[in-house]
Amino acid sequence: MSNKVLVIGGGPAGLEAARSAAELGGEVILLEKRDRLGGTPDREGYAKLTHHWRDASEAMAELAAAVTNHARVEVKYNAEVKGMSGSAGNFEVKIEAGGKAETLHVGSIIIATGFQHFDPGRATQYYNYYTFPDVITLTDLEKMLKEHNVVRPSNGQPPKKIAFIQCVGSRDRQIGNEYCSKVCCGIASKQAIELREQLPDSKVMIFYIDMRMYGYWENEIYWKAQEQHKVNYVKGVISEVLKKGDQLLIRGEDTTMSRPMEVTMDLVVLSVGMEPSAGTRAIAQLFGVKQNKYGFIEAGGESGLDTVATSVPGIFVAGAAAGPADLNDSISSAGLAAARAMALVRA
Amino acid sequence: MPTTQENWNPGKAANRHPEVSYEEKERLFFEVKNDPRYEDFLYGCYECGICVSTCPSARFYDYSPRVIAQAMAREDVERIYDIIAEDIWNCAQCFSCLRCPRGNNPGGLVTLLREVAVKNGLQETKDVLQGYSRVIYKVMLKGNQVSPDMLQPDFFPDWGPWVGQFSANMPVWRKAIPVDTLRGVTDAAWKTNRKTLLELYTIWFETGNMDIIKEIDEGLYDLLADVMQEELEEG
């Protein structure tokens, strides 16, 4: 029986899982495939978080520091899992870190390999992401917001009319992602506020199926965007984005006004959803944990309420590897995964 | 269509009143929007329709308080003009729409829109208010209320489809169930004390009510002003 906990993935969920397990007295090994911690928010250059409007880099650096400064956490960078054998309490995990092969003996494992943003170039959505430079994604816009340099990629000029198209790559049987990605309504609204702050002369519209602003996002982000920043919300999804002169023409229905519409925009932002990351898919297959039809790791156990349990005893899942999650969800599930992983190695 | 402010609004209304310039429509819109009450009347609209479901007028007219709130929020200048010209007089000003979960006040928006319509003497407003000239004449000149018999059942469709049937039997019912304040009189109202009447006339002039009447119905204004000024001079 090994008393060590292995955490795979150095994003928000992995960092919190490692920190929590260490604080509970565990010996933790954290594997990160890149040469730095912070996960997707760091890699994709997120600007502000919906949480207290915090700077994403700062918040991620804090999470990382809690782990790197902890004596009982060993971080292995440039690490990749090569194979696994054994069972709960006695796992043998073959890895390669920094070009060096190693075998780790651990009692329990937490998978925190996260998600990736939907690639809007995929068929059946006629948004021309790869054709028109002024069609961008939430992730692209986030980078521009971080640099306080929001411009139309086609001409370098600040956009005056900006449209967000919601549910790109989510809630769509034809695409295969039937689920809601949970965060895009909030992120689009947050970005709309930042846009109106950085470009006060701009008009911003959000085209949606339903606004899913659960909990306090409702009053803290949605109402704020609409009431203080005059962001317009129109129920109706855009069917296609076309070119008109040097602008983009979007087509849809203004459903509550019961009229088809065609409007020109300077910039169109696709609110791309979440898909399992390549790492999540690979690790699931390597470890033999069950995935759902979308490729996320199936969690919930037999009761459905064992929210961090995978199909393999001793292997737990935290964060968006188990499905779309915001930072609150990810960090909360990481704490629970740490507790469950520690309970196992101490038994 | 070229990109102008006009085609910013998705699903915007077509230009149904080409006789009025866009600039004029926009001027009226801003008159409403710049009213100090506006920001307390419209926060943000879910487009949920709860105001329509509570609205008595919406049952009987092609009228939607939701569309009014939405059109204002979206700054749909063309549609706002349609609303000023056609919709606002369908509102009973009952304020059932205050049930709004966002704390909006569509009925209050209608109040603002009506004030702007009247102050600017829009032709459509004149036409709509034509039917009320008798009521205005009575209330403002005599200082008393409209007598029950003056009210015709077809005035107010939002009273419901049974009002005609009720009206037919109303005299009998009033005898059967006496209404205290009417004291059996349905074809006349009380006589207003002369001092009170002169005070009322002064109020109509001083508060700008007479200016509004002049804007809307010049004939009625002349009629009222002649009598009132004469009486005021007599003292």
Q: How far apart are CA B198 and CA A289, in angstroms?
A: 91
Same domain? For B139 and B152 the reply is: no
- Interchain proximity B10–A256, CB inside 8 Å: no
What would the DSSP string read from start to end of chain B? Answer: ----GGGTSTTPPP---TTS-HHHHHHHHHHHHTSTTHHHH-S------HHHHH-HHHHHSS--HHHHHHHHHTT-HHHHHHIIIIIGGG-----GGGG-TT---HHHHHHHHHHHHHHTT-HHHHHHHGGGHHHHHIIIII-SPPPGGG--GGG-GGG-TTHHHHHHHHHHHHHHS--GGGTT--S--PPPPHHHHHHHHHHHHHTTHHHHHHHH-HHHHHHHHHHHHHHHHH-
Instruction: Identify which of A256, A259, A264 has the shortest CB distance to residue B47.
Output: A256
> In terms of DSSP bridges, do strands A259-265 and A247-254 run parallel, antiparallel, or are they unpaired?
antiparallel
Same domain? For B110 and B170 the reply is: no
Strand order in the sheet with A247-254: A240-244, A247-254, A259-265
DSSP A74: E
Same domain? For B156 and B136 the reply is: no
Same domain? For B139 and B223 the reply is: yes
Same domain? For B105 and B26 the reply is: yes
Residue B2 counted as domain residue: no
Same domain? For B229 and B159 the reply is: no
Q: How far apart are CA B188 and CA B169, in angstroms?
A: 19
Residue B163 counted as domain residue: yes
Specify the pLDDT at position A218: 95
Specify the pLDDT at position B167: 80
Residue B213 counted as domain residue: yes
pLDDT band at B5 (very low <50, low <70, confident <90, very high): very low
Which domain covers residue B53, as residue numbers?
11-120
Q: How far apart are CA B75 and CA A282, in angstroms?
A: 51
Report, in angstroms and rounded to the nearest whole number, the Rg of chain B calculated over CA atoms. 21
Residue B212 counted as domain residue: yes
CA B122 to chain centre: 13
Hey, what domains does chain A have and what are their CATH numbers?
4-114+277-346 (3.50.50.60), 119-273 (3.50.50.60)
Using alpha carbons, select from A11, A30, A236, A240 the residue that is nearest to residue B70: A236
Specify the pLDDT at position B13: 63
Same domain? For B72 and B19 the reply is: yes
Chain B residues with CB under 8 Å of A219 CB are none
Domain count, chain B: 3
Q: What is the pTM of this model?
A: 0.84
Residue B204 counted as domain residue: yes
In this structure, what CATH number is given to the domain that contains residue B21?
A: 1.10.1060.10
Strand order in the sheet with A161-168: A135-137, A267-272, A161-168, A203-208, A232-235
Specify the pLDDT at position B1: 30
pLDDT tens readout for residues A297-312:
999 988 989 999 999 9
Torsion of CA B9, B11, B15, B20, to 10 degrees: -40
- Interchain proximity B8–A203, CB inside 8 Å: yes
Chain B residues with CB under 8 Å of A235 CB are 47
Instruction: Identify which of B3, B66, B74 has the shortest CB distance to residue A264.
Output: B3
Chain B residues with CB under 8 Å of A257 CB are 11, 67, 70
Same domain? For B216 and B173 the reply is: no
Mean of all residue pLDDT scores within chain B = 87
> Lowest-pLDDT range, A19-23, A62-66, B106-110, B137-141?
B137-141
What would the DSSP string read from start to end of A185-239? Answer: HHHHHHHHHHHHHH-TT-EEEEEESS---TTTHIIIIIHIIIIIS--EEEES---
Residue B94 counted as domain residue: yes
Chain B residues with CB under 8 Å of A233 CB are 47
Q: What residues form DSSP beta bridges with A104?
A: A93
Specify the pLDDT at position B4: 37
pLDDT tens readout for residues B202-235:
999 999 999 999 999 999 999 999 999 999 999 8
Chain B residues with CB under 8 Å of A223 CB are 43-44, 102
Specify the pLDDT at position B8: 46
Residue B3 counted as domain residue: no
Chain A residues with CB under 8 Å of B47 CB are 233, 235, 256
Same domain? For B56 and B137 the reply is: no
Instruction: Identify which of A205, A227, A259 has the shortest CB distance to residue B44.
Output: A227
Interface residue ranges in chain A relative to chain B, Cβ cutoff 8 Å: 161, 203, 205, 207, 223, 226-227, 232-236, 247, 252-254, 256-261, 263-264
Percent of chain A with pLDDT over 90: 88
Determine if residue B62 is left, alpha or beta; phi over 0 gives left, psi from -120 to 50 gives alpha, anything else beta: beta
Q: How far apart are CA A81 and CA A92, in angstroms?
A: 11
What would the DSSP string read from start to end of A246-284? Answer: TEEEEEEEEGGGTEEEEEEESEEEEEE-EEE-HHHHHHH
Specify the pLDDT at position B11: 56
- Interchain proximity B11–A264, CB inside 8 Å: no
Residue B218 counted as domain residue: yes
Same domain? For B115 and B137 the reply is: no
The answer on pLDDT for B160 being more than 80 is no
pLDDT tens readout for residues A160-173:
999 999 999 999 88
Chain B nearest CA to A148, separation (Å): 25
At A322, phi and psi to the nearest 5? -95, 0
Q: Classify the complex by whether its ipTM is higher than 0.85, answering yes or no.
A: no
Mean pLDDT of B175-199: 84
Specify the pLDDT at position A159: 98
The answer on pLDDT for B158 being more than 70 is no
Using alpha carbons, select from B79, B78, B111, B80 the residue that is nearest to residue B94: B111
Specify the pLDDT at position B65: 96
Using alpha carbons, select from A274, A271, A269, A325 the residue that is nearest to residue A299: A325
pLDDT tens readout for residues B11-45:
556 778 889 999 999 999 999 999 999 999 999 99
Same domain? For B65 and B32 the reply is: yes
Mean of all residue pLDDT scores within chain A = 95
Same domain? For B108 and B201 the reply is: no
Q: Which amino acid is at A250?
A: I
The answer on pLDDT for B117 being more than 70 is yes
pLDDT tens readout for residues A266-285:
999 999 999 999 999 999 99
Mutate to test the interface with B, among A231, A257, A264 (most CBs of B within 10 A): A257
- Interchain proximity B43–A223, CB inside 8 Å: yes
Instruction: Identify which of A226, A247, A254 has the shortest CB distance to residue B10.
Output: A254
pLDDT tens readout for residues A119-137:
998 755 689 999 999 999 9
